[in-house]
Amino acid sequence: MHFFDYKESKFYADGVSIEKIIREVGTPCYIYSHKTLTRHYHAFDEAFKDMPHLVCYSVKANSNIAILKTFVKEGSGFDIVSGGELYRALKAGANPKKIVYSGVGKREDEIEYALRTGILMFNVESPEELRALNEIAGRLKKKASFAIRVNPDVDPKTHPYISTGLKKNKFGIETNQAIKEYVYAKSHLKNLIPFGVDCHIGSQITQLSPFIDALNKTREIIVILRREGVDVQYLDIGGGLGITYKDEDAPHPSKYGKVVINETKTLGVTLIFEPGRVMVGNAGILVAKVLYTKYGMEKNFIVVDAAMNDLARPSLYGSYHSIKSVNKQNSAPAMIADVVGPICESGDFFAKDREISAFQSGDLMAIMSAGAYGFSMSSNYNSRPRAAEVMVKGNRFYIIRDRESYKDLIKGEKIPKDRR
């Protein structure tokens, strides 16, 4: 569900024409719909109204502080994976007591920063990290609340790069070892408070069965821990709920909610969620300008002014993003073409062998479902300044990140001052 649509054959974000935004801001440009963001947050939150819960939006999906602020205002907490994400969340006015910190490689300075901030909980991913957390907390004379991220060895049936809950993945601690670590921490690591159990099995999951399998395993762990005298009050089941990019039948949050509640209602825990994609994915588009069309013997190419540095998902995962014309609605497919960017790599594409309407040079193209892992994964490769970001709110739009300049590109670079 989103609020990008045609009005009299021109493409709009909420109440604002995309052409109008681009006239002022230029391309490439990310455009987000505020109404879609808030709707998604509430659809998710509502799904759990019958259970004590906390929604911690996963900052990595889209970390612009205006997006974070939107979620702060709706009551969201945050799932962070770095000191940088903590900084962003705090800048956006996040309540530290609604922040959980995940990730396999937290550095000492990052742990210190989070401890001083007073976040809700550390999701610990290895026995060594657990000991480091205890040691740093002791040095700061603080107590650290933690959950162990358990690796339930469940197949999320998604792209291998974004599957995280299998034994062969680097994430979490295997279940039996996790139980031992809780018991050890209770008696030996005095600066730690066992707070919860955490689990995140992957991303873009479009079936409910992997979540059920993971919940079964985490439920067992909680029961065993209680028997061992470790009383955890939080169950963090991570993010991962998929969205529709093309024709995936992704479950609505309310359906996901029913299943999760059914599996957890007797546990007496507060649920934590770390949704990313489902909040922002379909709330954002990337608008590019068509530069040239190349007709070849073997293939046709539509070359646009956005590239894999702006949106890496098609190159990295072969992901499908639907493409719409901003200037005209319902133009019949006229050709089969690859939609490609200007970067000097054959992997620089947004679509392969796509049936697509003909575009003229100067036309605008909307690459849909680009709100999650779009700008947040962008880079300056080929020395391309990063795109502008815009948020549409009702009938107005706001630039929430300026387009980078050439000067921004070399910020911090220095030529050594030796005379040779």
Enzyme catalytic residues: 344
Q: How far is the CB of 171 from ligand LLP (least distance, A)?
A: 8
Query: Of residues 36, 63, 126, 203, which one binds ligand LLP by CB under 6 A?
Result: 203
Which span (86-94, 213-221, 235-243, 261-269) binds ligand LLP, by CB under 6 A? 235-243
Q: How far is the CB of 362 from ligand LLP (least distance, A)?
A: 30
Instruction: Give how many residues touch ligand LLP by CB under 6 A.
Output: 23
Query: CB-wise, 162 or 399, nearer to ligand LLP?
Result: 162
Reduce the DSSP state of residue 345 to 3 states and report it: coil
Q: How far is the CB of 318 from ligand LLP (least distance, A)?
A: 11
Distance in angstroms (rounded) separating the CA atoms of residues 125 and 113 = 18
Query: Of residues 277, 289, 321, 393, which one binds ligand LLP by CB under 6 A?
Result: 277
Query: CB-wise, 136 or 279, nearer to ligand LLP?
Result: 279
Q: Is 321 in the site for ligand LLP (CB under 6 A)?
A: no
Q: How far is the CB of 60 from ligand LLP (least distance, A)?
A: 6
Q: Is 239 in the site for ligand LLP (CB under 6 A)?
A: yes
Query: Of residues 152, 156, 210, 276, which one binds ligand LLP by CB under 6 A?
Result: 276
Q: Phi and psi (nearest 5°) for 69?
A: -60, -40
Q: How far is the CB of 296 from ligand LLP (least distance, A)?
A: 30
Q: How far is the CB of 70 from ligand LLP (least distance, A)?
A: 16
Site string for ligand LLP, 51-90 (x = CB under 6 A): -------x-xx-----------------x-----------
Query: CB-wise, 22 or 372, nearer to ligand LLP?
Result: 372
Which span (35-43, 104-112, 200-208, 286-294) binds ligand LLP, by CB under 6 A? 200-208
Query: CB-wise, 12 or 171, nearer to ligand LLP?
Result: 171
Query: Of residues 172, 275, 284, 341, which one binds ligand LLP by CB under 6 A?
Result: 275
Other Cβ atoms closer than 10 A to 135: 14
Distance in angstroms (rounded) separating the CA atoms of residues 324 and 365 = 6
Distance in angstroms (rounded) separating the CA atoms of residues 246 and 10 = 22
CA distances to 44, 315, 413, 414, 415 from 419, rounded to whole Å, are 61, 43, 18, 14, 11
CA distances to 161, 177, 297, 416 from 321, rounded to whole Å, are 18, 40, 26, 44
Which span (8-16, 303-311, 322-330, 370-378) binds ligand LLP, by CB under 6 A? 370-378
Distance in angstroms (rounded) separating the CA atoms of residues 235 and 267 = 9
Q: Dihedral, CA atoms, 225, 229, 230, 235, nearest 10 degrees?
A: 50
Which span (44-52, 197-205, 261-269, 349-357) binds ligand LLP, by CB under 6 A? 197-205
Question: CB–CB of 185/176 below 8 Å?
Answer: no
Residues 92-131 that bind ligand LLP (CB under 6 A): 102
Which span (111-119, 131-139, 272-280, 393-401) binds ligand LLP, by CB under 6 A? 272-280
β-partners of residue 337 are: 354
DSSP string, 357-401: ----TT-EEEE-S-SSSSGGG---GGGPPPPEEEEEETTEEEEEE
Q: How far is the CB of 17 from ligand LLP (least distance, A)?
A: 28
Q: Name, in order, each residue with C-beta under 8 angstroms of 1's C-beta and a sequence gap of 6 or more.
A: 36, 39, 40, 43, 282
Query: CB-wise, 58 or 309, nearer to ligand LLP?
Result: 58
DSSP string, 55-114: EEEEGGG---HHHHHHHHHHT-EEEE-SHHHHHHHHHTT--GGGEEE--S---HHHHHHH
Q: Name, in order, each residue with C-beta under 8 angstroms of 99's C-beta and a sequence gap of 6 or more.
A: 56, 77, 78, 79, 80, 86, 89, 114, 117, 119, 120
Q: Phi and psi (nearest 5°) for 419?
A: -90, -5
Query: CB-wise, 28 or 281, nearer to ligand LLP?
Result: 281
What is the contact surface with ligand LLP in residues (CB under 6 A)?
A: 58, 60-61, 79, 102, 162, 200, 203-204, 238-241, 274-278, 313, 317, 372-373, 377
